[in-house]
Amino acid sequence: MNKRPTLSLKPKAKPAAKTAAKPRPGPGAYAKPEGSSGPRGAGARTADAKSGPYSGGARPEGAKFAPRAAGARDADAKSGPYGGAKPAAGKSAPYGAGARPERAKPAPYGAASDGDTPRSPYDPAPRAKPYAARATSARPNAAGDTAPRRSTEPSGLRASHARALQPSLQTGFKTLLKPDSLAFALSGAAAAVAMVGEGTALPAALNQVGAAIDATPQSRGAMQDIGYRCMRQLGQSQALVAEMAPKAPEPMVAALLHCALALMTAPDEQAPYEEFTVVDQAVTAADAHPDTQRAKGMVNAVLRRFLRERASLLAIVSKNPEAKWNYPQWWIDAMITAWPQQWQQVLTTGNSAPPLTLRVNVRKNSVEEYLALLEQNGMAATRIGPSAVRLAKPVGVHLIPGFAEGRVSVQDAGAQLAAPLLDVQDGMRVLDACAAPGGKTGHILELARADVTALDADPKRLQRVAENLERLQLQATLRPAEAQNEDWWDGQQFDRILADVPCTASGIVRRHPDIRWLRRKSDTLQLATLSAKILDNLWQMLRPNGKLLFVTCSLWPQESEAQAAAFAVRNNALRLDAPGQLLPAGGIEQDHDGLFYALFQKHA
């Protein structure tokens, strides 16, 4: 019996077009990749793979860990003050994000206590950025070839989410803020502080930013005040930002917060502005700069929270030694080891503002005569040394009576001990090694009519020596050369040698508070090694019965007493009486930086 056909409502399918047969896959086509659980579709995850912060694709090939968004923090990692992850094997970075790269040989800070302008630790050649962002960089491979490392950032990641792809800091951006406003000064100071985070000395950063934004002399002064305050309180402000910020802020945002907090945490008698004024102007500054504009809400929230919870927040961060003392932890540990009885006093003195101390040129006037001149100009001052006068209130050098005429120079009271210790007599041949900026060179010539050669490795800084001598109306032979070499020497020995050798400058941090954040623990050994070479090289240039004065502005024994003792043994030098180590002091009668003096005489 025939079946009746059934009625179907589905449309009849069209016949498929004939296509060429696909080739049969080889025997290894379905083999699992090594370490994987099997094939998967695009975007799928393996069973044993942890999800990263970005869902939309497999983990990049060759990456051990999936990258995270800028500012995101691991659960067990402390946030740095400028964002990003803390380096796994490195020490905590006070500024930038990412791993800390290997750095070239440190440049010395030099004898910055001589004058009003410090020697940059990055002259003559700039150092590598101490806290560079995590970007594709070159690394030698096993064969010795330099090839760029493969970035761990996902290829589909937006630039705004990848710190390595973000543009560099716009520290020279000209805002529309009024130059005489606090917001303008905060913005400029924050740009300079961010540059310190990239490895630039604060004075150089302030000069560069001030020139780029066309800052007036008044605004430059305000920027400098805020920048130096920030450096002296950076440890505390870093801890406060880490405690209050919902995520680690970008470098410029963090720098702005640090500058604002430095003004808000100053003692009442030293607070230059009302707290609410600082908050308002900080938010205004954030809104005016492209690197901080998106974070103005966070800036407002963080600063207002500090106003509400000041006491409790300060109590929390005070448990952190870096926040309590405002020094890196390695610096605190080194100070305790070197000076177990005085370390607290030394750290406290280093956080105070330095005085303005003058050296009276005895060729042109006596100390009594100059004190009378100051009184006539309504300036209170105190005598704190044989030729040292301390002004009660610091002023610009252009306002110091007699400065342009060479009647006085700016020099720390401790640094003024060098020239008298050398005991230079008229007609002697004298070498001032590492002479810039020339404070000690001028002092030697003020005390004796000697034949002085001023040596410095940086020709540009040697020009500063020439300018100071011209102002003092004195003359010396200037030679741009490195003191550890002898190719510049004419073979004629010197009667006196002043060796103010390179060092970490740990004794002058109250004048240059950025030093503590720029230096690393390894700098001490490297600079001590360089100083030893300089001393040994200069010793051969000293005449029999001549004297060599070894000076350093460091507090670490490796650079001072240990260096002096080792030098005496190596060269069979006779050690004469000298002050030795001077710890920083900020008292009424003793007010000077931390310096070390050792005097040697060569046997006949």
In three-state form (DSSP H/G/I as H, E/B as E, the rest C), the secondary structure along 413-466 is: CCHHHHHHHHCCCCCCEEEEECCCCCHHHHHHHHHCCCEEEEEECCHHHHHHHH
Cβ pair 542, 555 in contact under 8 A = no
Q: What is the pLDDT of residues 206-238, one digit of tens each?
A: 999 999 999 999 999 999 999 999 999 999 999
Peptide bond into 124 cis (omega under 30): yes
Does the pLDDT of residue 126 top 50, yes or no? no
| Over residues 433-442, mean pLDDT | 96
- Residue 90 inside a domain? The answer is no
pLDDT over 50 (residue 128): no
Render 214-248 in DSSP notation, one character per residue: T--HHHHHHHHHHHHHHHHTHHHHHHHHHHH-SSP
CATH of the domain at 186: 1.10.940.10
Which residue among 307, 326, 345 closes a domain? 326
- Terminal Cα distance for the chain, rounded: 139
Strand-strand pairing, 494-500 and 429-433: parallel
User: Contact 539/532 with Cβ under 8 angstroms?
Assistant: no
Find out whether 408 and 358 touch, Cβ atoms under 8 Å: yes
Tell me: do 544 and 593 sit in the same domain.
yes
Same-domain check for residues 387 and 533: no
Mean pLDDT of 175-189: 94
CATH number at residue 378: 3.30.70.1170
Mapped onto helix, strand or coil, the DSSP state of residue 524 is helix
State how far the Cα of 222 lies from the Cα of 187, in Å rounded to an integer.
11
pLDDT in tens, 97-117: 333 444 444 444 444 444 443
pLDDT above 70 covers a percentage of the chain that reads 72
Query: Looking at residue 515, what is its pLDDT?
Result: 97
- The span from the CA of 180 to the CA of 177, in Å, is 9
- Choose, from 230, 259, 434, 553, the residue flagged as catalytic: 553
pLDDT of 450 reads 97
Q: Between the CA of residue 294 and those of 72, 287, 548, what are the distances in Å? A: 17, 8, 58
pLDDT band at residue 268, thresholds of 50, 70 and 90? Answer: low
Tell me, yes or no, whether 275 and 420 share the same domain.
Answer: no
Q: Is residue 104 one of the residues assigned to a domain?
A: no
Q: Which of 84-93, 218-227, 593-602 has the lowest mean pLDDT?
A: 84-93
Q: Is the pLDDT of residue 2 over 60?
A: no
Q: Residue with structure tokens 């989410």?
A: 161
Name 379's Cβ contacts closer than 8 Å, sequence gap at least 6: 391, 392, 393, 395, 401
Q: What is the dihedral of CA 485, 488, 491, 497, to 10 degrees?
A: -70
What average pLDDT score do residues 501-510 get? 96
Question: Token pair of 97, please?
Answer: 């994000």
Same domain, 443 and 589: yes
339 in any annotated domain? no
The better pLDDT of the pair 549, 92 is held by 549
Shared domain check, 530 and 405:
no
Query: 406 and 421: one domain?
Result: no
Residue 534 has pLDDT above 50, yes or no: yes
| Mode of pairing for the β-strands spanning 477-480 and 591-592 | unpaired
Q: How far is it, in rounded angstroms, from Cα 132 to Cα 474?
A: 45
Is residue 581 one of the residues assigned to a domain? Answer: yes
Query: Of 70, 35, 29, which is closest to residue 49 (Cα–Cα)?
Result: 35
Cα distances (Å, whole numbers) of residue 37 to 29, 142, 189, 236, 281: 15, 31, 54, 49, 57
In Å, how far are 217, 382, 481, 542 from 489, measured between CA atoms?
43, 42, 10, 12
* CB atoms near residue 379 (< 10 Å): 17
Number of independent structural domains in the chain:
3
- Do residues 496 and 399 share a domain? no
Task: Name the average pLDDT for the chain.
Answer: 80
Does 455 reside within a domain? Answer: yes
In the Cβ-directed half-sphere of 24, how many Cα atoms lie within 13 Å? Answer: 1
- Is 435 within the bounds of a domain? yes
For range 302-322, the mean pLDDT = 96
Model confidence over 199-208: pLDDT tens digits? Answer: 999 999 999 9
Q: Note whether 389 and 243 are same-domain residues.
A: no
Q: Is the pTM of this model over 0.95?
A: no
User: Does residue 244 belong to any structural domain of this protein?
Assistant: yes
| Residues 319 and 367 grouped into a single domain | no
287 pLDDT higher than 80? yes
User: What is the structure's pLDDT at 552?
Assistant: 97
SS3 359: strand
Residue 446 and residue 411 in contact, taking contact as beta carbons nearer than 8 Å: no
Which tops the pLDDT comparison, 25 or 380?
380
Mean pLDDT (whole number) for 584-598: 94
- Residue 32 is predicted with a pLDDT of 40
Assess whether 469 and 540 both reside in one domain: yes
| H or E element, residue 307 | helix 296-308
pLDDT at position 132: 34
503 annotated active-site: no
Residue 352 has pLDDT above 90, yes or no: yes
Residue 410, pLDDT > 80, answer yes
Residue 52 dihedral angles phi and psi, to the nearest 5° = -90, -175
| Residue where one domain finishes, among candidates 381, 410, 439 | 410
| Helix residue ranges per DSSP H, 123-274 | 182-197, 202-212, 217-232, 234-244, 251-264
pLDDT in tens, 35-75: 444 434 433 343 343 434 333 444 444 444 344 443 333 43
pLDDT score recorded for residue 174:
86
Specify the CATH number for the domain of residue 488. 3.40.50.150
- Has residue 34 got a pLDDT over 60? no
The phi and psi torsions of 576 (rounded to 5 degrees) equal -100, 175
Q: Look-up: residue for tokens 């507090």?
A: 555
**pLDDT range class, residue 266, cuts 50, 70, 90:** confident
* From 114-118, 326-330, 550-554, 573-577, the region with the lowest mean pLDDT: 114-118
Average pLDDT over residues 17-42: 43
Same domain for 474 and 597:
yes
- Based on the number of CB atoms within 10 Å of its own CB, is 257 exposed (0-12), middle (13-18) or buried (19 or more)? buried
In the predicted structure, residue 84 carries a pLDDT above the cut 90: no
Looking at the chain, the number of H-run helices and the number of E-run strands are 18, 15
272 to 55, 224, 278, 460, 534: CA distances (angstroms): 49, 13, 10, 36, 45
Q: Which domain holds residue 294?
A: 182-326
* Secondary structure (3-state) at 191: helix
What would you report as the CA-atom Rg of the chain, rounded to the nearest whole angstrom? 31
Residue ranges with strand state E in 514-570: 542-552
Mean pLDDT confidence for 532-539: 98
Name the band, by pLDDT with cuts 50, 70 and 90, for residue 604. Answer: confident
Give the mean pLDDT of 425-435: 97
**Domain identity same for 440 and 521:** yes
- pLDDT at residue 85, rounded to an integer: 38
Cα distance between residue 359 and residue 368, in whole Å:
12
Q: Per-residue confidence at 137, pLDDT binned at 50, 70, 90?
A: very low
DSSP state letter for 168 = P
pLDDT surpasses 90 at 457: yes
The verdict on residue 446 lying in a domain is yes
